[in-house]
Structure formats: C-alpha cells, structure tokens
Amino acid sequence: MFKSLLKMLGIGDEQPSGVVAKDRLKMVIIHDRTSVSPEVMKRFRADLIKVLSNYFEIDEHDMNLSLESESNSCALIASIPLRGMRGRVAKT
C-alpha cells in the first residue's frame, strides 16, 4: 500500500507503463520503417567496429549507434568516442 501511495504521488521508482510503451514503440517503428531488424543492427555494429579498428582506437563500450526518426525521415546516428589515433595510417 505504501508503494501505491508513492506511485499516486508520482515519486515511485518504476516508470509509468505509458512511458515504457512509447519508448518500445518508437524503437520498433524505426526498425519497421527502415526494415532494419535489431539483429542486423548488431551485425552492422560489429562490422563497423572491425573497420574502424583498422584506423582508430575506439571506445567500444561508449559507442552509440541508433536509428532515429523525425516525422518523415530516418537517420543513422553514430557517436563513436576515440581513444587516440593509432598511428597516422595503418600499413600501406
């Protein structure tokens, strides 16, 4: 009962389910619209890391890759923190 009292006052720890619904829906709709499944994104991420690692030392854990949509368009947004250049060019 204490929990529901907290929830009633809007200071519960759980997110309201409507917010969860919106987040899940936004995610799934972006993938529907671009016909890119989360599985494809996972493989893309792995490939991207492989290629980038030839040139940069990247911070894999803080790397952020997402599809975002505004009313009529979708964009691939990538934020890839670098640890430092790994030499100027790898090998020629």
Partner 1 sequence: MCEVMVVTSGKGGVGKTTTTANIGVGLAMRGKRVAVIDTDTGLRNLDLLLGLENRIMYDLVDVTSGRVAYKKALVRHKKFETLYLLPTSQVRDKSAVKPEQLVELVTEMRNEFDYILIDCPAGLEQGFQTAIAAADVALVVTTPEISSVRDADKIIGELGRADKETIKLIVNRIRPMMVEKGDMLNMDDINEILSLECIGQIPDDEAVVTATNRGEPVITIDSSMAGRAYRNIVARICGEAVPFMTFPREGFLARLRRLFGM
Site of interaction with partner 1 (CB under 8 A): 1, 4-5, 8, 16-19, 21-22, 24-26, 28-29, 32-33, 71-72
Cα separation, 53 vs 59, whole angstroms = 10
Cα separation, 48 vs 64, whole angstroms = 12
Which regions of 1-92 does DSSP assign to beta strands (E)? 56-58, 64-70, 73-79, 82-85
**Residue 1 CB, nearest distance to partner 1 (Å)?**
8
For partner 1, the closer of residues 15 and 92 by Cβ is 15
**Residue 79 CB, nearest distance to partner 1 (Å)?**
23
